[in-house]
Structures are given as C-alpha cells and as structure tokens.
Homo-oligomer: A and B are copies of this chain.
Amino acid sequence: MSDDDATTDGGQPRRGRRGGGRAARQAARAASTSATSPYLVRSMPPMEMLDEAGLRTIEDNAETIMSEIGIAFQETPDALDLWRDAGATIDGDDLVRFPRGLCREIVQANAPTEFVQHGRNPERNVRIGGNTTVFAPNYGSPFVTDLDRGRRYATIEDFENVVKLTYLLPHLHHSGGTVCEPVDIPVNKRHLDMMYAHLRWSDKPCMGSVTAPERAEDSIELARLAFGGDLQDRTVLTSLINASSPLRWDATMLGAATAYAKANQACIMSPFILAGAMSPVTVAGLAAQALAEALTGMAYCQLVRPGAPVIFGTFASSMSMATGAPTFGTPEAGQAIAVMAALARRVGVPFRSGGQFTSSKAPDAQAAYESASTLLPTVLSGVNFVLHAAGWIEGGLALSYEKLIMDADQLGMMEIYAKGVDVTENGQAMEAFRTNPAGQHFLGNAHTLANFESAFYRSTIADNNSYEQWSEEGSLTAAQRANARWKELLASYEAPPIDPAADQAMLDFIARRKAEMPDEIG
C-alpha cells in the first residue's frame, strides 16, 4: 500500500474506497510533528528465520489441517450456516472442514491489509499492519504487584492506575484492554468500568470486552458515546479473540467476534498455544496449527462482514519439561514469532504476537532477560500489534508496576531499530572525518555537536553513572528506580479533555446497565 492508502480508515476491503480526509491529515500531521510517534514505522526489513520452501511446507500443512482434520466452531449455529454457504462441510456437532485454499481466499479477497484504529485524540490514531508496530500493555492478569505492597488481587483502582500510566508513557501507543482484572467489581459489570477507564482517563485507542457477546455490544456503545455519537463505521476498538486451541473456537469468543465484526470493529483472531499441550511441541507443528486456526477465524469475520478489520494473532509459549509450567523468553518462542510473522505477511494481514513475557515472580534479571528475549524477535520480525508489551510478570498472572515502567523504557529503544540505519549525508558523517584533527576525539567536532542531542536512545531507567555515584545514591536496582518513577508519573497525571456531554452519556449508560443486572461474582 502507498503512504496515502496508509491513512485509509479501518474496515474497508483492500480494493475499497479511499478513506481519510480530515482525520487522516490530522494523523499524518501528528505523526510528523509529535516528539514521539504514535506508532512505529519500520524501515528495516523483517528478520526471516525460515526460507520459502519451509514456509510453503507449513502453509501446505495448515491447508491439510483445515481440510482433513477440521476446526470446531462450537455452539454457534449461525457460524456453521455461514461456513456451509461458503462451501465448507460440517461433521458432527461443529467440526468444520474447509476445502483447500478457501479460508486464505476469503481473507485475501476481503480483509484489509492494514487499517487505522482511532483514538479519542486523533493524534493518537494508530495504523495497524504493513510496516507499522503498535505497543499495548499487559492484558488479563488477576493480580498486581509492586515493591511497596507486594502481590495482591487487582482492583479497579489498579486498573485506572495502569490506564493512567499507559497514557503517560510515550512508547505505549495503545491503552490495551483488560490491563489487569478489577476483581473488586462483579464479573458481569467490570467491563463497563474498564471501558470507562480507557475512554475517560486516556485518549489512546483501546480494546473492548470479549467475555460475552453483550459485553462486546456494551463496549461498542460506550465507545460510540465517548467518540461523540455515530462511529460512522470507524474502527475504534481492536479486541482479542482467543482460539480455544487446539483447533477450536468457542461460542463466547465467536459471539464477541461476531458483534465486533458486524460493527466494523477489529478482532485479533488469536491461537493461544502452550506448545506440547495446545499444539505439538515443535515450532513447525505449532506454526501449521496456528496458521490454520488464524485463517479460519479471520475468514469467519469476513463472512460476518466482508472487509471487517482483522489481525492474525499468535500467542505461543514453551513449557518446562520438569513441571509443565509455561516458560517465556525461550528461543523456541522467538522462532515461532518470526515464522508466524512471515506467514502473516504472506497472507497479507496485520499480525499480532510477542510482548515482554516472563515467568519470573520478581522484576529481576530473569524478568528482564526473558522480556528482552521476547521483545527483540517481536520487533525484528515485524510484528504489527504487540499486546503484553509492558508490565507482564509471573506468566501473566500479575502486572508489575515496576516492570510496566522498565518495559516501557525498552519499547522506546525499538523505535530506533524501526527507523533503521541513517545513510543520508549527515548519517555518513564524512565531513566529521574531513574536519577532525588526526587522532583527536570527535567530542568537539561540529558534526558531533549538531547530532549529539538526538544521537542515542535516552533511557529513563538505566543508571550509567560510576559505581561510586551509584553507591552514594543508595545502590538502587532498576526496579527500585522504576518504583520511584511510577509514583512520580501518577502524581503528575492530568486527565485528557473530554466533552462533558459525552462523559455524562457514558456514566448514564453504565448506571442503567448496572441497574439492569444482578451482580455476578466471578
């Protein structure tokens, strides 16, 4: 797609009309003028870990899985009808078998190669797909932890804190979704408070609820109110639809996906794989399965509404051979990310994977090794949407306030990789060589002085001082420095503006919906 196409609104088939106009021009201005980009634009080529023949083999195996083994669409008769009409066959209650090539054809003929997800603030709009990368925070943890209070169940206050911190952290482009589970709110009502927090306390794009179809509808309605009325088919939500791997989509997730797709909101159709349990143990086996699952999920969304924006998702972890526990930051997971990213590029749709994963219980060296060992393959492989990009700890059971800060700092580094190596005349720096006295340092050279400010990524967490100075300042670890940082950030927080009428409309809607339902305890 050309740069011009890149501003096309979400949800248009790839051969559809140009979108954009005023909002697109605003987004383009924002991208060019703000100190930090609203998302990464990669100019470096993606890293490849498998050659053409290997990728073709996996694609062929995925077609065999779809056509011979089949994928279950559980307890969703409407879905089975759509599949039957599209040419698939149904066996038993729900097992769908797809003629070879059918799902790929449906996706390639209808799904956008990239789309814009709007934020309440148009300067925060993100373009998802192609050569962009968007970072969103941790998702789904029942616990939170910090150095002061330790590990505990998450509350709506924690949820709001994470939304506010994410709003303030420039390298997180997206507000995310269930950044932690506010377990102090009844399970059937917490989606309302979560959506309100995203829409009121941030103006970055966010995700909707997927735990029931009616909660997806509520999410869309709240977004409509926050955006000031008709969404005009704009994509303002990108939500996470996990497969019930192996080879199943369940009714809850399909119901949420249906609601979002009908409303032209984006779905991440995401295999969720602990290799060895939810798939074979090998990367190539996992990849064939994930491709099959993702293709069927994305094709389903296209049957619901041709052109609905979808993201090819993959969550894949390895396993401890000793205990069966999931493990993170392993090379096998890095290989899976790179292979799946290549497969998604060949389909021609945006790809979600990776993040900053760890099974460590503390924001320690294990947490950081494992996180960096996931993030680098994520970015170098060209992943488009990165959930869990900051804050994840303890295999996803908890969000760490300190790790949120430390991880977000690492995300800033990725912008430099994305930009690629500068080989302009200034980048080549030949004038520096020509003007520098032989054998002298370049510190005082005009080229150095002109470029020094912007030359290197500036970490907010790393301590590069001498041992003596570091000792004088209390010998703090990175996690201790991050602890001070998140408190400073929260203290500095100011809510983004919102139209008071829109705010009141959201509050009224939430009050009404809560009154309509008895509390359910999760």
Show the binding face of A for B, using Cβ within 8 Å: 44-45, 47-51, 53-54, 57-58, 61, 64-65, 68-70, 72, 95, 151, 246-248, 275-285, 288-289, 318-321, 323-327, 329-332, 334-335, 339, 359-373, 376-377, 380, 394-395, 397-398, 403, 406, 410, 413-414, 416-417, 420-423, 426-430, 432-434, 436, 438-443, 445, 447-448, 451-453, 455-459, 461-467, 470-471, 475, 477-479
Contacts and interface: CB of A to CB of B under 8 A. Distances in A.
A65 B433 contact: yes
Contact of A280 (B64, B429, B470, B479): B429
B452 A276 contact: yes
Given A44-B49, A49-B44, A421-B283, A457 B332 contact: yes
Nearest to A417: B331
A421 B53 CA distance: 12
Nearest to A410: B369
A347 B9 CA distance: 47
Contacts of A48: 45
Contacts of A319: 455-456
A336 to B, nearest CB: 9
Contacts of A284: 421-423, 427-429
A455 B369 contact: no
A283 B428 CA distance: 8
Contacts of A280: 429, 432-433, 442, 445, 447-448, 451
A414 B331 contact: yes
Nearest to A145: B467
Nearest to A453: B321
A376 B47 CA distance: 12
Nearest to A319: B456
Top 10 A-B residue pairs of the complex, sorted by shortest distance between their CB atoms: A285-B429, A368-B368, A372-B372, A280-B429, A331-B416, A366-B478, A365-B368, A281-B455, A364-B477, A280-B432
B421 A69 contact: no
A415 to B, nearest CB: 8
Nearest to A381: B47
Contacts of A455: 275-276, 281-282, 318-319, 321, 332
User: How often does this chain occur in the complex, in copies?
Assistant: 2
A281 B441 CA distance: 11
B462 A366 contact: yes
Contacts of A58: 423, 428
29 contacts: A45-B51, A64-B433, A68-B434, A69-B433, A69-B438, A151-B467, A246-B441, A277-B442, A280-B442, A280-B447, A281-B429, A281-B451, A282-B451, A285-B428, A285-B429, A319-B456, A323-B465, A330-B457, A331-B457, A332-B456, A335-B416, A362-B477, A365-B478, A366-B406, A367-B368, A369-B406, A369-B478, A372-B372, A376-B380
A464 B359 contact: yes
Given A430-B64, A456-B319, A464-B326, A442 B278 contact: yes
A251 to B, nearest CB: 14
A289 B439 contact: no
B368 A462 contact: no
B478 A364 contact: yes
Nearest to A482: B365
A422 B283 contact: yes
Among A151, A397, A470, residue most surrounded by chain B Cβ atoms (within 10 Å) = A470
Nearest to A364: B477
A320 B455 CA distance: 10
A11 to B, nearest CB: 32
B459 A327 contact: yes
A479 B360 CA distance: 12
A234 B397 CA distance: 55
Given A335-B416, A442-B277, A455-B276, A461 B366 contact: yes
Contact of A359 (B68, B275, B463): B463
A178 B97 CA distance: 63
Given A68-B434, A320-B464, 9 more contacts: A276-B452, A276-B455, A281-B448, A288-B433, A359-B464, A361-B475, A364-B368, A376-B376, A376-B380
Nearest to A480: B364
A465 B432 CA distance: 54
A471 B362 CA distance: 11
Contacts of A380: 47, 376, 380
A64 B486 CA distance: 49
Contact of A54 (B361, B363, B421, B429): B421
B463 A366 contact: yes
Nearest to A330: B457
A463 B365 contact: no
Contacts of A369: 368-369, 371-372, 406, 410, 478
